[in-house]
Every structure is written in C-alpha cells, then in structure tokens.
Amino acid sequence: CSVAALVAVRLNPSCRNWLLFGHRGAEPGHRHLLETLQAEPLLDLGLRLGEGSGAALAVPLVRLACELHNGMATFAEAAVADRPA
C-alpha cells in the first residue's frame, strides 16, 4: 500500500493530506518511502511481517480516535466556563 500511496502523491500531490500511515516497517525501503513522503506513521513497532500487519494494528487506533472525537462534548455542552488563567 505504501508504494501505491507514493504513486498517488506523484500523480496528485494534494491527495497527501488524506493519507494515514499505519506503521513504520523495519525494512530500509519502507523507511525511505516514508521519508520521501514526509510521513509520520501512527505506530513504530519494528514489525517485519508484511502483509498489512501494521495496518491491521493501526485501524482500531484510528477507529478509537474517531469515536473519542465524535463523542467529546463541547465546552458549552459540558458547562465549562471561561476563567482567567
């Protein structure tokens, strides 16, 4: 998937803003690709498994972040008052 991301960015640089990188693989080629894309992955676990194993670990993290964001109350909803520092 990372090589496909590189191709997509080369074809349309604006798509870079929509890419998430699940993990930093241990392979030198993967690290170089992330550097080229100036990408900071969500996880760096030293995985050498391939087959999308890093993505499989990152998906629950992204889902949880979305749930937390969507379920978070606003200051008004939580009755938080502005106070001087």
Distances 16 to 35, 50, 54, 82, 85 between C-alpha atoms, Å: 13, 22, 19, 37, 38
The token pair at 42 is: 């969500």
Burial environment of residue 6 by CB neighbours within 10 A (0 to 12, 13 to 18, 19 or more): middle
Active site residues per annotation: 51
